[in-house]
Amino acid sequence: MRPGLILARVRRWLAPVAIVLALGTAPAAQVRSATLDRSAEALRFADWVAAVHEHAPGVVDPALRRLTTWAPATLDDLFIELNSLQGLLRDPRKAAFSLPGDAARSARPIYYNQPGLVRLQQIAGGMIAGGETLVDLVERAAVLHTDLSLHADLLAATVAAGNLPSAGRDVVQFSDGTPVGIGQTADHLEVARRLLDLVPHGNTHDADIRRWYQATIARQQADEFWDVHQADAALERFPGAPEILFLAACLHEVTASPAIRAVIGRVSLPYGAHLLVGSERDELKKAAAAFKQLLDLQPALVEARIRYGHVLARQRQWADAVSTLTGTVDAAAAPPLKYYASLFLAEALEGAGRVNEARAAYARAASLYPAAQPPRLALSQLAWQSGDRAAAREQLQPVLTTQDERADDPLWTYATFQARDADAWLADAYQRFSQPGPALKP
């Protein structure tokens, strides 16, 4: 997947469409324009149910490929037939259906011909006989659409000309800080979110869905795909969840970085679009607030403390950054974290005017990764400022002789380091969704 951003929200004519690298879902009210005769949609819905059951999680299989040609509006249709299926699961003899979201007294009826109704009844009957609940179907379907969202290269067939209907996304693609295009595809991650929103809060399924949010946000970040909308949706559903707060804070930290600011400064947005990502100052404030909230809950999280100190230093709050970062070098277990802590503490100390302590911290970072450029450059600069030209040249020597500037420098992977366990989390989420869960009360 090419690095990308879900950066904006769009209004075209009167139809609101979300885009933060993705276009969001149209309000339920817009579905009312659908025809009352939904017989053809019922048969297509049956094909979708079959694909859900046939798909092997994490595999690009025929079931996955069948859905790559589905247009965004077709994906919206699924939720109408899901509502009808829910009615049949409650009452297999049900024959009257209406669009979801209508009040009982003003429900707008929809019609299925005999073949369409029979297919829906067969699906409901098979689920009842097999002990499959609507939640089981929804969670397995979320796996299918999540896998589709992770394979943007497969979705070229869903690109729409002109105004995308609902459930689409615009993706700002970039390379080395330079935008290379804005691609439009169906937003299958939005579909997965809407599916999981059908599962009421406050039950045994919450832990599974919470893991899914953690896994998908981390997987996106591992792919350098910065989707603010997914993080916001996760926090809306699970406010205060430490693992979600951490990843959301990391996202805002990265979207405030020079590499992303360069993309934002150069991208030409479609007509009517505006950036969902805020200014550098706003993104740093959001990152700092999320890290602080997390550390108030779990003050022993060393990795969060290191990143919070870095954000404070980016805000030029030098004293607070030094206080936050002090002790993190020794507390960190992984060598890259020790390196980040040493480097960021050195920068904060230098900013606070504590040059000798900064020099020692830079030296510690350099000792951890001798070929890394940043601490060597900083030590050379400090030596130059003190008038020690020989020491300045000596510190530059390893930098000048390094063949690969990325070699042995964890700073190159800092933006994605927090997502190093993404694949394991995603596998766990898929395993959870594959297990039958207790039925929910109507």
Domain boundaries, the chain: 4-250, 299-417
Tell me what pLDDT residue 180 has: 42
Spans of the chain below 70 pLDDT: 1-35, 102-106, 152, 155-185, 267-268, 270-275, 402-407, 437-442
Residue 21, pLDDT score: 31
Q: Which of 28, 200, 192 is nearest to 100 (CA)?
A: 28
Q: What pLDDT does 438 receive?
A: 58
Per-residue pLDDT, 8 = 40
pLDDT at residue 203 in the model: 79
pLDDT for residue 231: 95
H-state helical runs in 18-163: 39-54, 62-66, 72-90, 114-130, 134-149
**pTM for this model (two decimals):** 0.86
3-state helix, strand, coil in the chain (%, to 5): 60, 10, 30
Q: Which pLDDT belongs to residue 103?
A: 58
pLDDT of residue 178: 53
The CATH fold assigned to 299-417 is 1.25.40
pLDDT of residue 321: 98
Q: What is the pLDDT of residue 432?
A: 93
- pLDDT at site 107: 72
| pLDDT at residue 208 in the model | 95
* Residue 271 confidence (pLDDT): 65
Three-class secondary structure of residue 13 per DSSP: coil
pLDDT at position 261 is: 87
CB 343 within 8 A of CB 362: yes
pLDDT of res. 259: 86
Confidence (pLDDT) at 69: 85
Looking at residue 178, its amino acid is: T
Exposed (0-12), middle (13-18) or buried (19+): which is 316, by Cβ within 10 Å?
A: exposed
